[in-house]
């Protein structure tokens, strides 16, 4: 699960509904500490770009990526991976701040927070499916 969580190609597959694709930095394969990727995707009907960097990396427990460019004022996403009776529990700790002060904070509460929650749930389901498919191919 840890490697799926940091795999650029797996992320693009999990975000297919937005047309998300890596256009700069690491554009395929696994990311590691200090790596950057610039994502391009359509959110709210607008093509946007965001660049993130892996700032913390503790394999196989967690890694953190943070926004270094893009529309959000700030963004920090810690990906936690914990042993679980059924395999691995993946927990997303996602924090962001919208631009434009008070107006941005209102938009964040009303639109961005629910949007990101849905996006992360969908991403987790796709990654879970990918992990289960890989596991079934390697099981006897």
What is the percentage of the chain residues whose pLDDT exceeds 70? 98
User: Residue 6 above 60 pLDDT?
Assistant: yes
Tell me the CATH number for domain 2-135: 3.30.530.20
Residue 122 near residue 17 (C-beta atoms within 8 A): yes
Can you say how many angstroms the Cα of residue 134 is from the centroid of all Cα atoms in its chain?
20
3-class DSSP assignment, residue 73: coil
User: What residue ranges do the domains of the chain occupy?
Assistant: 2-135
Q: Supply the pTM of this predicted model.
A: 0.91
Q: What is the pLDDT of residue 140?
A: 61
Per-residue pLDDT tens over the stretch 34-85: 999 999 999 999 999 999 999 999 999 999 999 999 999 999 999 999 999 9
């Amino acid at each position: 699960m840890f490697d799926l969580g940091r795999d650029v190609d797996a992320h693009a597959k999990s975000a297919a509904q937005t047309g998300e694709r890596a256009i700069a930095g690491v554009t395929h394969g696994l990311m590691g500490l200090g790596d950057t990727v610039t994502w391009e995707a359509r959110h709210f009907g607008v093509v946007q770009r965001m660049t993130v960097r892996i700032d913390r990396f503790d394999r196989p427990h967690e890694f953190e990526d943070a926004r270094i460019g893009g529309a959000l004022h700030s963004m920090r996403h810690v990906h936690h991976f914990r042993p679980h009776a059924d395999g691995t529990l993946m927990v997303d700790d996602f924090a962001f701040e919208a631009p434009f002060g008070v107006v941005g904070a209102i938009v964040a509460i009303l639109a961005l927070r629910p949007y990101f929650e849905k996006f992360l749930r969908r991403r987790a389901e796709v990654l879970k499916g990918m992990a289960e498919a890989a596991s079934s191919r390697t099981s006897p």
